[in-house]
Amino acid sequence: MRDSDTFQAIIEEGRQIQARRDIRWLAVRTLGEPDKVSADRLESITDLDRLEHLFLSVEGAPSWQDLLDTP
């Protein structure tokens, strides 16, 4: 079962959801609540490497827009 494509897709989606929650939680502490555009941009990111990079970039970001513009 763990080798099935469906199972792996579900796991991947769960990791994406958690990564976006972690980014939002951390960024809200320093940047405040995101506006709708920023929140929607964050929710649209599915690449786990990008999400990890964003998480590590939160601390130095001056704004949500700058954070989300991070390559």
Q: Residue 48: what pLDDT? A: 96
- Burial zone of 22 (CB within 10 Å; 0-12 exposed, 13-18 middle, 19+ buried): middle
**Domain containing 29: what range?**
5-69
Counted domains in the chain: 1
Across the chain, which has 71 residues, the per-10-residue mean pLDDT values are 85 96 97 97 97 96 96 83
Tell me how far apart the alpha carbons of residues 70 and 1 are, in angstroms, rounded to a whole number.
Answer: 37
* Residue-level pLDDT at 14: 96
pLDDT at 58: 97
Q: Supply the pLDDT for residue 3.
A: 78
